[in-house]
Every structure is written in structure tokens, then in C-alpha cells.
């Protein structure tokens, strides 16, 4: 073999050997780094501090909140009963009115003419009655003397009855004409507040007009409508004693109304009724709470929150931030005696109370729970617990 070929083969073998050495060195280097990272992560988990708290049982009055819509005690649409043009508008939108107060005047001259015609018809009918009466008086002595037949008298009497009936009909027509004429003035049927007025002077209106002249809302008392789902309704039925829902409602304490700006309405209300049916679309039943509205602060169509106080005894409460939800279930991170994390399922009341859940299953007094679940933790992870005081954990609990 030639020397050049031998040198070339030796050179290629050296290159291959060097590559193998480099790959093996790189593998061991990566493996050492990975082991070092794992060890570092384990060390880090051992040194990570998490705020935790001890579960306690307590007696408290909780406030459950439900979104509500407000409606006046009466919302009455004011509609014309006759056809005509709006001649006068005596009120403005948002005005407070009394029962019987004049709101609109509708121009309909034909109804005044009907009254005049009916009055004239009465005068004519009265004259006919007088004539018929005279005929009866004139005929009666002639019959008694046998000058004329008694049938003449009967005929005169029948004529008098017909004339009297015509007079009665004329009086009824006058009363009807006056009633129709009265419809030209529109008054308020209740005390309340005027809504929008879509028509102006000169507008043609009738009893078939799509929009009402206005709406009068009686807001002396205001109804707050809110809903409970089927589970909440069952909880309510079991919580309060009584053979009927109305008997259970009578045991409810006064409720509070939170206005849209978050302030508390000064007047307390009462939950008075429960809808008889569950809405098949929403799966909820409607409740109605009544609130006095002496200064007219509440208006129909507004929104608010109804707060119902619920007294609980020896209940376990945990902050909502201490839980996380997965597939419709609630979980907490439970810390055992070795400071290791265990993800634990809990059951809670269907309605949260403010920022807290009432736990019905899964926790007991003395358990240690991670305060915040913003960052996920793996089961069996060891942490350094930082136990928080009770007054900090339940600072927002009234």
C-alpha cells in the first residue's frame, strides 16, 4: 500500500474517533445538567413559602346576593279610548301625578255634537210623552161614559208606553254621548310618575294606536324580582320550617337592597312571593321582594342586588380564592403533616356568600389549606407553610 493512502486512512480514523469522543462528552454533560436542574427544582420546592390557614368552624350571619330587576307596584299604560287629535298636554315626562289629575285633552268635536243631538232627542221624546199622556187623559172619561170603546183607551196607553220607552232610550243615548265626550279628557288612574310621552300636540291617536300616550308608574312600593335555581330552591325549602312555601317565606328576615352604584338602600324589604312555576328555559323560580319607596329613589326598570341574610352555625367557611374549579367541581390544596400538597375535592353551598364558600363536605376543623390557588401545584409537592392569622383570612366576613 502506498504511503499516501496509509496517511489518509489514519487521518480519517482520527477524525471519526474525535467525533465519537465529543458526542460522548456532550451526552454526559447534558445528563449532569439535567440532574442538576432536577435537584435544583427539588431544592427550590423545599424552600418555596406559601400562605396557608387553619380551617375553623364558626357561627355567622352570611349575606347571599341575587341580581334583581325593579318594577313599580303598578305600571299602567295610558291609552286613548276615542279617535282624535291631541289638543293639550298638561304634564311632562318624569312628573309626579295624583290619581284623577288631568293628563291630556283630545280634540273630537263629533262627541260634543253627539251630546247636543242626544239632548235634543230627549226634548222631542219628552214632548211625545206629554202628548201621549194628554191622549190617555182625554180618552179615559169617554170610555167610562161609553161614548167610545175601551180599546181606544188601551191603544192610547200603549202609545204612552212607547213614548216613555223612547224617552228612556234618548236619556241613555245622552249618557253614552257624555261618556264618550268624557274620554276627550285623559286623567291618571293612580298616583305615580309619568314615563315617556311619544306623541306631541296635534298627533292623531286612537284606541288602536300601537304606543300608549304615556305610562304612569306607581312607585310608592317597588318590587325587586330575583331568581333561584332548582338546587337553591330545594336548599331554601329544607332550611326553613313550614308546610307551605308561604309559611317558609314568613320566617325570612328583612332583606337588603344594594343599588347599582354599590350603596345600600336605606329601607329594608320583605320577600313576599315565589313564582308557582320553574322556568323551563332558565331552570329557575322567580321571587319577589317588596321595598318601600317613600322618596321615589327607586324607579321601574332599574337593577340592583337583593341581599338575604343566612345564619349558619358551626359552619366551615373558606375564601373563594382558596379554591379552584375543574369540570364543575371545587378543589383545594390540602397540606398534610409533612407539608406536602394534596389536591382535595370539596362540596360547597350552591350560592357563595360574598367572597366565601360554605363547605358542606371534604374539610374538617383543623385542616391546613393553601390560601391562594392562583399558581397550580403538583400533588406531593413539599412547601414551607406560612400560617396566616384568622382575622386576615376572614377580614371581609361580616
The pLDDT assigned to 38 comes to 43
The pLDDT assigned to 37 comes to 42
Percent of the chain with pLDDT over 70: 86
Distance separating alpha carbons of residues 196 and 94, to the nearest angstrom:
8
pLDDT in tens, 196-218: 999 999 999 988 888 999 999 88
In this predicted model, which residue has the larger pLDDT, 377 or 46?
377
The pLDDT assigned to 10 comes to 45
Q: With cut-offs at 50, 70 and 90, classify the pLDDT of residue 254.
A: very high
Q: With cut-offs at 50, 70 and 90, classify the pLDDT of residue 353.
A: low
- Is pTM beyond 0.75 here? no
Q: Does the domain spanning 49-60+313-393 belong to CATH 2.40.420.20?
A: yes
Q: With cut-offs at 50, 70 and 90, classify the pLDDT of residue 48.
A: confident
In this predicted model, which residue has the larger pLDDT, 398 or 261?
261
The packing angle between helices 109-144 and 150-182, to 10°, is: 160
Instruction: Tell me the average pLDDT across 349-357.
Output: 73
Instruction: Please determine, for residue 75, whether its predicted confidence score (pLDDT) is greater than 90.
Output: no
Distance separating alpha carbons of residues 69 and 64, to the nearest angstrom:
16
Instruction: Please determine, for residue 139, whether its predicted confidence score (pLDDT) is greater than 70.
Output: yes
pLDDT in tens, 275-295: 878 877 888 889 999 999 988
The pLDDT assigned to 22 comes to 56
**Mean pLDDT of all residues belonging to the chain:** 83
Instruction: Please determine, for residue 25, whether its predicted confidence score (pLDDT) is greater than 80.
Output: no
The pLDDT assigned to 333 comes to 95
Domain formed by 80-108+184-211, architecture: Beta Barrel (2.40)
292-319 b/e (C-beta count within 10 Å ≥ 16 → b)? ebeeeebbbeeebbbbbebebeebbbbb
Instruction: Please determine, for residue 3, whether its predicted confidence score (pLDDT) is greater than 70.
Output: no
Instruction: Please determine, for residue 309, whether its predicted confidence score (pLDDT) is greater than 70.
Output: yes
The pLDDT assigned to 32 comes to 47
The pLDDT assigned to 151 comes to 81
Domain-wise residue ranges, the chain: 49-60+313-393, 66-71+218-311, 80-108+184-211, 109-182
162-191 b/e (C-beta count within 10 Å ≥ 16 → b)? ebbebbeebbebbeebeebbeebebebebb
Torsion sign across C-alpha atoms 390, 393, 396, 398: negative
| Structure letter (DSSP) for residue 189 | S
Residue range 109-182, CATH number: 1.10.287.470
The pLDDT assigned to 16 comes to 55
Q: What does the block give as the cell for 236?
A: 331554601
Instruction: Please determine, for residue 137, whether its predicted confidence score (pLDDT) is greater than 80.
Output: yes
The pLDDT assigned to 19 comes to 54
Q: With cut-offs at 50, 70 and 90, classify the pLDDT of residue 317.
A: confident
Q: With cut-offs at 50, 70 and 90, classify the pLDDT of residue 15.
A: low
Instruction: Tell me the average pLDDT across 230-239.
Output: 79
Instruction: Please determine, for residue 14, whether its predicted confidence score (pLDDT) is greater than 60.
Output: no
- Long-range CB pairs of 329-335, under 8 A, 24+ apart, other chains included: 330/357, 332/362, 332/363, 332/369, 332/370, 332/373, 333/369, 333/370, 333/373, 333/377, 334/363, 334/367, 334/368, 334/369, 335/52, 335/368, 335/369, 335/370, 335/383, 335/385
| Structure letter (DSSP) for residue 280 | T
To which CATH superfamily is domain 66-71+218-311 assigned? Efflux pump adaptor protein, beta barrel domain (2.40.30.170)
The pLDDT assigned to 397 comes to 66
Distance separating alpha carbons of residues 299 and 287, to the nearest angstrom:
19
The pLDDT assigned to 12 comes to 52
Amino acid at each position: 500500500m502506498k504511503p499516501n493512502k496509509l496517511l489518509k486512512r489514519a487521518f480519517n480514523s482520527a477524525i471519526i474517533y474525535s467525533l465519537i469522543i465529543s458526542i460522548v462528552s456532550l451526552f454526559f454533560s447534558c445528563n449532569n445538567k439535567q440532574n442538576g436542574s432536577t435537584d435544583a427544582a427539588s431544592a427550590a420546592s423545599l424552600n418555596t413559602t406559601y400562605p396557608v390557614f387553619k380551617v375553623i368552624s364558626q357561627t355567622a350571619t352570611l349575606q347571599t346576593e341575587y341580581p334583581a330587576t325593579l318594577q313599580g307596584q303598578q305600571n299602567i299604560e295610558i291609552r286613548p279610548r276615542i279617535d282624535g287629535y291631541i289638543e293639550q298636554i298638561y304634564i311632562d315626562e318624569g312628573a309626579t301625578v295624583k290619581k284623577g289629575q288631568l293628563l291630556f285633552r283630545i280634540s273630537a268635536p263629533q262627541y260634543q255634537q253627539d251630546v247636543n243631538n242626544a239632548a235634543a232627542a230627549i226634548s222631542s221624546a219628552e214632548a211625545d210623552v206629554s202628548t201621549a199622556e194628554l191622549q190617555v187623559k182625554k180618552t179615559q172619561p169617554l170610555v167610562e161614559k161609553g161614548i167610545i170603546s175601551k180599546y181606544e183607551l188601551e191603544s192610547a196607553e200603549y202609545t204612552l208606553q212607547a213614548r216613555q220607552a223612547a224617552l228612556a232610550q234618548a236619556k241613555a243615548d245622552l249618557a253614552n254621548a257624555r261618556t264618550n265626550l268624557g274620554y276627550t279628557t285623559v286623567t291618571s288612574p293612580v298616583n305615580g310618575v309619568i314615563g315617556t310621552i311619544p306623541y306631541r300636540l296635534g298627533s292623531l291617536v286612537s284606541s288602536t294606536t300601537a304606543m300608549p300616550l304615556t305610562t304612569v308608574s306607581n312607585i310608592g312600593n317597588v318590587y325587586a324580582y330575583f331568581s333561584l335555581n332548582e338546587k337553591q330552591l330545594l336548599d331554601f325549602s329544607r332550611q326553613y320550617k313550614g308546610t307551605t312555601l308561604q309559611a317558609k317565606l314568613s320566617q325570612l328576615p328583612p332583606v337588603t337592597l344594594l343599588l347599582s352604584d354599590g350603596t345600600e338602600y336605606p329601607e329594608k324589604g320583605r320577600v313576599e312571593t315565589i313564582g308557582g312555576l320553574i322556568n323551563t328555559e332558565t331552570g329557575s323560580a322567580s321571587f319577589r321582594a317588596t321595598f318601600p319607596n317613600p322618596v321615589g329613589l327607586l324607579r321601574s326598570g332599574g337593577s340592583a342586588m337583593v341581599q338575604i341574610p343566612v345564619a349558619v352555625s358551626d359552619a366551615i367557611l373558606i375564601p373563594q380564592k382558596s379554591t379552584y374549579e375543574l369540570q364543575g367541581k371545587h378543589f383545594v390544596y390540602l397540606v398534610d403533616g409533612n407539608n406536602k400538597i394534596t389536591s382535595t375535592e370539596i362540596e360547597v353551598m350552591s350560592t357563595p356568600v360574598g367572597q366565601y364558600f360554605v363547605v358542606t363536605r371534604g374539610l374538617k376543623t383543623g385542616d391546613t389549606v393553601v390560601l391562594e390557588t392562583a399558581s397550580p401545584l403538583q400533588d406531593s409537592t413539599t412547601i414551607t407553610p406560612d400560617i396566616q392569622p384568622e382575622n386576615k383570612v376572614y377580614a371581609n366576613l361580616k
